[in-house]
Chain A
Amino acid sequence: MSLEVIWFILVGVLLTGYAVLDGFDLGVGALHLFVKKDEDRRMLLNAIGPVWDGNEVWLVTGGGALFAAFPEAYATVFSGFYIPFMLLLVSLIFRAVAIEFRSKEPWKWWRTMWDIAFACGSIVSALLIGVAMGNIVRGIPLDADHEFAGTFVGLLNPYALTMGVTTVALFAMHGAIYIVMKTEGELQQKVRRWVPTLIGVFIACYSIFNLYTFIDVPRIVDLVRERSYIFLVAALGILVVLNIPREFSRGREFNAFLCSCLGMALMMATFGLSYFPNIVYSSPNPENSLTIANAASTPKTLGIMLVIATIGVPVVFAYTASIYYIFRGKTKLTSHSY
Chain B
Amino acid sequence: MDVEILARVQFAFTVMFHYIYPPLSIGLGMVLVIMEAIWLKTGNVLYHNMARYWTRVFALTFAIGVASGIVLEFEFGTNWATYSRFVGDVFGSALAAEGIFAFFLESGFLAILLFGWNKVGPRLHFFSTCMVCFGAHFSAIWIVVANSWMQTPAGDHLETVVDGQPVRLPPGHVVTEADLGTVRAVIDDFWAMVFNPSSIDRLTHVILGAWMAGAFLVVSIAAFYLLRNRHLDFARASMKVGLSFGAVATILQMVSGDFTAKGVVENQPIKLAAIEGVYETESRTPMTLFGWVDEKSRTVHGPQIPGLLSFLAWNNANKPVVGLNDLPPDDFLRKQHPDATDAELAALRPSYWPRVNAVFQFYHIMIIIGVALLVLILTALFFWWKGWLFRTDWAPTRWLLAALVLSVLGPQIANQTGWFTAEMGRQPWIVYELLRTSEALSKVVRAEEILFSLILFFLIYALLFVLFLFLLTRKIQHGPEDAEATHEMPESWRAWIRADDRLPRAE
Residues of A within 8 A of B (CB): 42, 45-46, 49-51, 53-54, 56-57, 59-61, 63-65, 67-72, 74-83, 85-86, 89-90, 92-94, 96-97, 99-106, 145, 147-149, 297-298, 300-301, 304-305, 308-309, 312-313, 316, 319-320, 323, 326-327, 331-334, 336-338
Specify which chain B residues have a CB less than 8 angstroms from the CB of A102 in the assembled complex: 493
Specify which chain B residues have a CB less than 8 angstroms from the CB of A331 in the assembled complex: 497
Selected from B93, B443, B449, the residue in CB contact (under 8 A) with A304 is B93
Contact indicator B104/A79 (Cβ below 8 Å): no
Specify which chain A residues have a CB less than 8 angstroms from the CB of B73 in the assembled complex: 60, 63-64, 67
Given contacts A45-B493, A312-B97, 7 further A-B contacts (CB under 8 A): A49-B494, A71-B84, A75-B84, A75-B85, A80-B444, A147-B443, A298-B186
Contact indicator A106/B490 (Cβ below 8 Å): yes
Specify which chain A residues have a CB less than 8 angstroms from the CB of B96 in the assembled complex: 61, 64-65, 67-69, 305, 308-309
Q: Mark B44-72, 1 if CB is under 8 A from A, else 0.
A: 00000000000000011001101111110
Contact indicator A50/B101 (Cβ below 8 Å): no
Answer whether residue B442 sits at the interface, using C-beta atoms and an 8 A cutoff: yes
Contact indicator B115/A327 (Cβ below 8 Å): yes
- The residue in A65, A89, A336 that gathers the most chain B C-beta atoms within 10 A of its C-beta is A89
Q: Separation in Å of the B95 CB from the closest CB of chain A?
A: 4
Selected from B81, B107, B449, B495, the residue in CB contact (under 8 A) with A83 is B449
Least CB separation from B100: chain A residue: A312
Contact indicator B70/A86 (Cβ below 8 Å): no
Least CB separation from A324: chain B residue: B111
Contact indicator A82/B70 (Cβ below 8 Å): no
Least CB separation from B498: chain A residue: A337
- The residue in B74, B101, B471, B489 that gathers the most chain A C-beta atoms within 10 A of its C-beta is B74
Q: Separation in Å of the B504 CB from the closest CB of chain A?
A: 14
* Interface stretch of the complex, out of B286-294, B357-365, B426-434, B452-460: B452-460
Bound Cα distance A61, B107 (Å)? 12
Tell me if A's interface is mostly helix, strand, loop or mixed: helix
Least CB separation from A338: chain B residue: B490
Query: What is the count of residue pairs linking A and B with beta-carbon distances less than 8 angstroms?
Result: 255
Can you name 25 A-B residue pairings with CB atoms under 8 Å? Answer: A45-B493, A53-B107, A57-B103, A60-B70, A64-B92, A65-B96, A67-B92, A67-B95, A68-B91, A74-B88, A79-B78, A79-B442, A79-B443, A83-B449, A83-B452, A86-B78, A89-B71, A92-B70, A101-B471, A103-B490, A104-B471, A301-B90, A301-B92, A312-B97, A326-B120
Specify which chain A residues have a CB less than 8 angstroms from the CB of B467 in the assembled complex: 97, 101
Specify which chain B residues have a CB less than 8 angstroms from the CB of A61 in the assembled complex: 96, 99-100, 103-104
Q: Separation in Å of the B126 CB from the closest CB of chain A?
A: 15
Contact indicator A90/B460 (Cβ below 8 Å): yes
Closest 9 CB pairs of A and B: A71-B88, A78-B77, A68-B92, A61-B99, A103-B493, A312-B100, A50-B111, A79-B442, A79-B81
Q: With A57-B104, A85-B78, A100-B63 as given contacts, are A64 and B95 in contact (CB-CB < 8 Å)?
A: yes
Least CB separation from B119: chain A residue: A326
Specify which chain A residues have a CB less than 8 angstroms from the CB of B109 in the assembled complex: 319, 323
Q: With A89-B71, A337-B486 as given contacts, are A53 and B100 in contact (CB-CB < 8 Å)?
A: no
Bound Cα distance A80, B78 (Å)? 7
Q: With A93-B71, A148-B444, A326-B119 as given contacts, are A308 and B489 in contact (CB-CB < 8 Å)?
A: no
Specify which chain A residues have a CB less than 8 angstroms from the CB of B111 in the assembled complex: 50-51, 53-54, 323, 326-327
Answer whether residue B195 sits at the interface, using C-beta atoms and an 8 A cutoff: no
Bound Cα distance A81, B173 (Å)? 32
Contact indicator B60/A100 (Cβ below 8 Å): yes
Q: With A57-B99, A96-B67, A104-B471 as given contacts, are A71 and B89 in contact (CB-CB < 8 Å)?
A: yes
Q: With A53-B66, A96-B63 as given contacts, are A69 and B92 in contact (CB-CB < 8 Å)?
A: yes
Q: Separation in Å of the B452 CB from the closest CB of chain A?
A: 7
Q: Separation in Å of the A6 CB from the closest CB of chain B?
A: 14
Bound Cα distance A104, B441 (Å)? 41
Answer whether residue B181 sits at the interface, using C-beta atoms and an 8 A cutoff: yes
Q: Separation in Å of the B198 CB from the closest CB of chain A?
A: 21
Bound Cα distance A247, B225 (Å)? 57
Contact indicator B110/A337 (Cβ below 8 Å): no
Contact indicator B490/A337 (Cβ below 8 Å): yes
Contact indicator A67/B84 (Cβ below 8 Å): yes
Q: Separation in Å of the A91 CB from the closest CB of chain B?
A: 11
Contact indicator B493/A46 (Cβ below 8 Å): yes
Specify which chain B residues have a CB less than 8 angstroms from the CB of A45 in the assembled complex: 493
Q: Separation in Å of the B357 CB from the closest CB of chain A?
A: 33
Q: Separation in Å of the B490 CB from the closest CB of chain A?
A: 6
Selected from A49, A90, A149, A298, the residue in CB contact (under 8 A) with B493 is A49
Contact indicator A145/B92 (Cβ below 8 Å): no
Least CB separation from B85: chain A residue: A75
